[in-house]
Amino acid sequence: MEKLSTQVAIIGSGPAGLLLGQLLYKAGIDHLIIEQRSADYVAARIRAGILEQVSVDLLRKAGVAENLEKYGLPHDGIEILTHQKKHRINLNKLTGGKQVTVYGQTEVTKDLMQARESQQLQTFYEADNVRIHDFDTQPYVTFDNKRQSFRIDCQFIAGCDGFHGVCRASVPQEKIKTFEKVYPFGWLGVLADVPPVSEELIYVQSERGFALCSMRSNTRSRYYIQVPITDSVENWSDEAFWAELKNRLDEDSRNKLVTGASIEKSIAPLRSFITEPMRFGKLFLAGDAAHIVPPTGAKGLNLAASDIGFLAEAFIEYFNRHSEHGIDNYSQKCLARVWKAERFSWWMTHLLHRFDTESEFDHRMKQAELSYILESFAGQSSLAENYVGLPFEADVKLAALNA
């Protein structure tokens, strides 16, 4: 068995693990990443598409924002289509100048992986039998890689290994509490090299179900339609997908839609999931390892980034300023933000998706709520400030209200 030691062992090289690695490198903190999949597999994964300003700022701080600055598409608004009518939510005006950036998670991952490689930072890809040990006292990680067994002694373990990872699963049941809601539908997503139907995203609420018109660039589009959780991608030819998407659009969008061959097609299940706490001794969970949101609010990737912002700062305080304040407050700071994003993602999902089991009264309540939101400045402001990403501190103007 080969023995190595480091300050922080990062499990998982998705956006959370890679961003943490990059921020620790910038702060001169020794670390390594252990990933079960191959580098090609990680780089090819297609997932999120929207970055909050918080995430853009962190990627800039990590020194990996060159492509993002060049190819990212800043967006000042989104559209909500209901009853064949589009309503623009002016994110920029409603939030005092904030915006989101369209830039695929695939590209974020590649930018971080390229930086890591050029900096010759250690990543063990295709690691098997990854196990974490003694994370309450003197933590270490064991795994097999290229027919060699490894033991990594470390001061902290960062569990960035996603929803199905080993880290959260290694915490004794009596020390962890989880909250979960599984939705009775999924998102059938298609990626195609066709121009987007609209300059901004269109969130569709229709009697046939939810749809989303998104993009990766001005020549590559990302579309989703709600399908039953029992559905399978084999049931959907490209033609069937485009026909159903058109059925859910308004006439103008239907006529503008450019269809084409899918380069990726998959069904993602929707769930809300939260772990409390997010710290267990010397083990810190971040990103999907700790929480999952339905993608309706475009929060998954952005929550992973804000967790990492807090965790990197905590490790920097510990190693470079000899303070335990950050690590002691990590879980509470993350969860304060996670729960609000969970609520917004659940609310957007509830409002825009078709639920076959809801009563006629509940359906009419949802219609009334959506009408109120679309016709109310306060309602649209609330949607907008959640969509662009809530500030890390409470709104100072609020305090002035009751001064």
Residue 393 CB, nearest approach to ligand FAS (Å):
23
Sign of the torsion formed by the C-alpha atoms of 101, 105, 108 and 112 = positive
Torsion angles phi and psi, residue 155, rounded to 5: -95, -30
Q: Which does 160 bind (CB under 5 to 8 A by kind): ligand FAS, ligand PHB, none?
A: ligand FAS
Spatial neighbors of 319 by CB under 8 A, at least 6 apart, are 7, 27, 29
By the rule CB under 6 A, 305 interacts with ligand PHB: no
- Distance of alpha carbon 25 from alpha carbon 13, whole angstroms: 15
Binding segment for ligand PHB (CB under 6 A), chosen from 6-14, 46-54, 62-70, 361-369, is 46-54
C-alpha–C-alpha distance, residues 18 and 10, integer Å: 9
Copy the structure tokens of residue 254.
């239907």
Question: What does 34 interact with, of ligand PHB, ligand FAS, none (CB < 5 to 8 A by kind)?
Answer: ligand FAS
Among ligand PHB, ligand FAS, none, what does residue 300 contact (CB within 5–8 Å per kind)?
Answer: ligand FAS
Start-to-end CA distance of the chain, whole Å, equals: 64
Residues 91, 99 contacting (CB under 8 angstroms): yes
Q: Work out what residue 13 binds among ligand PHB, ligand FAS, none; the CB cut-off runs from 5 to 8 Å by kind.
A: ligand FAS
238 and 261 Cβ atoms separated by less than 8 Å: yes
Q: Cβ 155 to ligand PHB, closest distance in Å?
A: 36
Shortest distance (Å) from residue 172 CB to ligand FAS: 18
| Rg over CA atoms, the chain | 22
How many residues bind ligand PHB (CB under 6 A)? The answer is 10
Is the Cβ–Cβ distance between 281 and 136 less than 8 Å? yes
**For 166, phi and psi rounded to 5 degrees?**
-90, -25
Q: Choose among ligand FAS, ligand PHB, none what residue 79 binds, the Cβ cut-off being 5 to 8 Å by kind.
A: none
Strand partners, 158: 10, 284
Chain residues in the site for ligand FAS (CB under 6 A) = 11-17, 34-37, 42, 47-49, 105, 127, 130, 160-162, 164-166, 268, 287-289, 295, 298-301, 304
Among 16, 48, 227, 312, binds ligand PHB (CB under 6 A): 48
Q: Return the active site residues.
A: 75, 203, 295, 299, 387
- Comparing CB distances to ligand FAS, the nearer of 58 and 93 is 58
Residues 146-205 that bind ligand PHB (CB under 6 A): 201
Question: Is the Cβ–Cβ distance between 320 and 29 less than 8 Å?
Answer: yes
Which listed residue (17, 72, 165, 295) binds ligand PHB by CB under 6 A? 295
The footprint of ligand PHB (CB under 6 A) covers 48-50, 201, 212, 214, 222, 295-296, 298
